[in-house]
């Protein structure tokens, strides 16, 4: 019975040694796998750090570009503000010029009316002048006839005087 127990125990020890050998092989295999995994993890960690570095660089680059774009946006908004102010100023000037244009149009209309009035007055004066010249010519004709008549009257008076003198002489004779 002892031997049987010893055989059972020996078999059991052999079995256990096989199990231990299997387990040792498994442990060894697991250690290799663990070593490969560690190596992969280190490689992946390095890749992760490299990628984080690249991401940080890209983010910094994008932040810088964003800041530049924001600056450009602020500048563009300022330009828009300046343009808006200029448009407002130009609209004010346009309104002022339109007002001045209306005023000038009113003055032009008044001057046109005044020119029409002065033209009518000139035409009336021209007609009056023409009429006065015609009357002057008529008066000149009358004056010349009157002078002629006066000269004739002087001649007749002289002749009349001469005839009287002759009559007087004849009476005295």
Segment-wise mean pLDDT, segments of 10 residues, the chain, 173 residues: 82 88 88 92 91 92 93 93 92 95 95 95 89 88 83 78 82 72
pLDDT at 166: 83
Q: What is the mean pLDDT of the chain?
A: 89
pLDDT digits (tens, 9 = 90+) for 158-170: 888 888 888 887 7
Report d(CA 143, CA 157) in Å as an integer.
20
Task: Give me the pLDDT at residue 171, please.
Answer: 77
CA 125, 128, 129: angle at the middle one, nearest 5? 85
pTM above 0.75, yes or no: no
State the Cα angle at 103 between 97 and 108, rounded to 5°: 120
């Amino acid at each position: 019975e002892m031997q049987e127990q010893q055989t059972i125990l020996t078999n059991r020890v052999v079995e256990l040694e096989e199990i231990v050998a299997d387990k040792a092989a498994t442990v060894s295999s697991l250690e290799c796998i663990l070593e490969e995994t560690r190596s992969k993890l280190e490689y992946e960690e390095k890749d992760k750090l490299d990628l984080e570095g690249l991401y940080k660089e890209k983010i910094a680059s994008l932040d810088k570009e964003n800041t530049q774009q924001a600056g450009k946006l602020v500048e563009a908004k300022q330009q828009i503000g300046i343009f808006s102010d200029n448009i407002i100023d130009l609209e004010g000037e346009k309104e002022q010029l339109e007002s001045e244009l209306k005023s000038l149009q009113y003055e032009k209309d008044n001057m046109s009316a005044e020119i029409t009035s002065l033209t009518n007055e000139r035409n009336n004066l021209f007609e009056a002048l023409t009429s006065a010249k015609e009357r002057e010519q008529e008066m000149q004709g009358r004056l010349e006839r009157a002078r002629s008549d006066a000269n004739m009257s002087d001649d007749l008076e002289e002749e009349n005087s001469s005839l009287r003198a002759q009559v007087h002489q004849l009476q005295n004779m």
